[in-house]
Structure 1
């Protein structure tokens, strides 16, 4: 059976992220840390993505762990940040692209213990998988300014004693965006009709692409 590396990249990429390598290294340094505590930190990393706990309460829990087991707060934070990083990277692709066995192999390559691998597996292939995925997509999506107000006006200049014909009517558009920018532009009726046509054509092409069977297969 061929190595999955021959046809699929590791979920974390071809270079191990620094946050993850530091996490693994710190886990070795804190080998006396009970697994129940590590399990709690993995659960906290899940809560971090879902925003189920405030930053203050989460930091308080991590500080108490450091104090109770006589390790530095920096070490606790390195472990916790590594766990969060693993979840975020694993949740970026759609569920269809993250295969359970391949995911476990990737974590073994990163030198995580089998117990930790099992915890990540339960999170990423458990009941909250879709909720976690949506949380990551919402956090990472581009955030462009939204439209606050939109006004338009038709500017018509009739013939006067100094003009031999009517001037072509112009459409004046005024936008106000959520970042407090005011945008104004004007177009002729002809150009506006071209814009309407191209917009309708683009929407039609988007519907056709959305209906492609190949895309539906990727979503399943």
Structure 2
């Protein structure tokens, strides 16, 4: 059984590694019903009745049923939490887990079809959103201080931010705060770059 599965960033949980063994005891109709029920569970919805009907149908043993549900739940929950996951990568993960080819399309469609449905629902029910930054400018301004006998140059950063709602904001930031901002932005960009280098999130041409 494959130890490394990219969707988990390494070794898959035991219930996922054993998934293929128990899926062999299912037919495609039963798997489809099970996937629908598990997706409801991942979404936090009540799926007990659906699972009860599958369990009592006599089409699958109790042992295979329990293991298959546990494995599918762990797999689908993890996959749906990764927005950058590509379907091709997920399909290869399923092959690494020894899932039969006839079931790969069903499991993959459950993940990516559910994701698109969630996106569409989210777009439809999306409420008012905050304005976005359309343009951002900054420049260094130097003021001459005459508060002491020796005149001193006091640099500051003038910033101008234009939002998507048409509002224009101008403000002044001390150099020290500006350096903190630069450092934090650089840190975030570095962390994003580190994440992108991980195989699970790598964008391939």
TM, length-normalised to structure 1: 0.49
* SS at structure 1 position matched to 2:77: helix
Residue 204 of structure 1 is aligned with which of 171, 181, 184?
A: 181
CA deviation digits over 1:140-185, x for unaligned, max 9? Answer: xxxxxxxxxxxxxxxxxxxxxxxxxxxxxxxxxxxxxxxxxxxxxx
Instruction: Supply the distance in 2 between the matched residues of 1:71 and 1:40 (Cα, whole angstroms).
Output: 12
- Residue correspondence of structure 1 range 1-220 to structure 2 within 5 A: 10-28=6-24, 30=25, 33-51=26-44, 53-54=45-46, 58-69=47-58, 71-95=60-84, 98-126=85-113, 128-129=115-116, 131=118, 204-205=181-182, 208-209=185-186, 212=189, 215=192
Distance 1:62 1:73, change over 3 A: farther
Question: Across the two proteins, how many residue pairs are aligned to each other?
Answer: 139
Instruction: Supply the distance in 2 between the matched residues of 1:71 and 1:127 (Cα, whole angstroms).
Output: 25
* SS at structure 2 position matched to 1:68: coil
Instruction: Supply the distance in 2 between the matched residues of 1:16 and 1:49 (Cα, whole angstroms).
Output: 18
Bigger share in strand: 2
Gaps of 5+ in 1: 1-7, 133-196
Instruction: Supply the distance in 2 between the matched residues of 1:114 and 1:20 (Cα, whole angstroms).
Output: 17
* SS at structure 2 position matched to 1:128: helix
* SS at structure 2 position matched to 1:119: helix
Structure 2 contact 55–62 (Cα < 8 Å) conserved: yes
Q: Offset at 1:38?
A: 0.5
